[in-house]
Homo-oligomer: A and B are copies of this chain.
Amino acid sequence: MVMGNDFAEQQEVNFQPLMIDFKGRCVVIIGGGKVAAKRARVLLQGGALITVISPALDTELEKMRKQEKVNWKKKLFEPDDLEGAFMVVVATDDPSVNMSVLQSSSQVPLVNAAGEASGGNVHFPAFLKRGKLTLTVSTHGASPILTSRIKEELENRFEPDFEMYVDFLYECRQLIKNTPLSKQEKRQFLHELLDESFRTEEKQQQIILWLKRLAEGGERYE
């Protein structure tokens, strides 16, 4: 299962992108270092129930533990640690331990082996979130530098205030369902909202107000 430098090549490019709900799912992280902390941070956002198996914790994980965001079992890995796990993250700095975890994880649906030269059936792509908008970038290990560059480019293109705009589009989509507009008019209207001019809060409030009135049987859009 352990792959060398030709990892990306051997695997071909057949990892498929999905969005997964971790709410209430048990994730076991083997290892207590920086990589483990990085994974824990992302998975916590997704609502995962995280248990860290490791003799020691790095600063960030120790903080999470104190805040009761993660469970910590201060111990070396044993196969029983994986019982009931939805996902296991293999993230120790000892290749032989990592290998042993991989070999014990056949019953775990999702297996992420952090680091390049590893097995597992899950990769974490680089991503950015702007509220309900999620964008991801992955080069399957071909070029981490390119991945970072594209992520930066997207961060500049979709600035933090884009979150508000996506929320606005969402609200419009909900409100428009209750209006007497025809299917085609609705589609046309939602399409028009993609115009740059609807990026200001003032304009957004006008639209929301108008849609609410329309839903209540007020004026039609001319």
Interface residues of A (CB under 8 A from B): 5-6, 8-9, 11, 13-23, 25, 42-43, 45-47, 86, 109-110, 120-125, 127, 129, 131-143, 145-146, 149-150, 166-167, 169-170, 173-174, 177, 187, 190-191, 193-194
Contacts and interface: CB of A to CB of B under 8 A. Distances in A.
A145 B16 contact: no
A124 B136 CA distance: 13
Given A22-B16, A125-B136, A136-B125, A8 B109 contact: no
Nearest to A145: B190
A146 B134 contact: no
A129 to B, nearest CB: 7
A170 to B, nearest CB: 4
Given A86-B109, A170-B142, A17 B132 contact: no
13 contacts: A9-B170, A11-B21, A15-B19, A16-B43, A17-B136, A125-B134, A132-B142, A133-B139, A133-B146, A135-B136, A136-B136, A141-B170, A143-B173
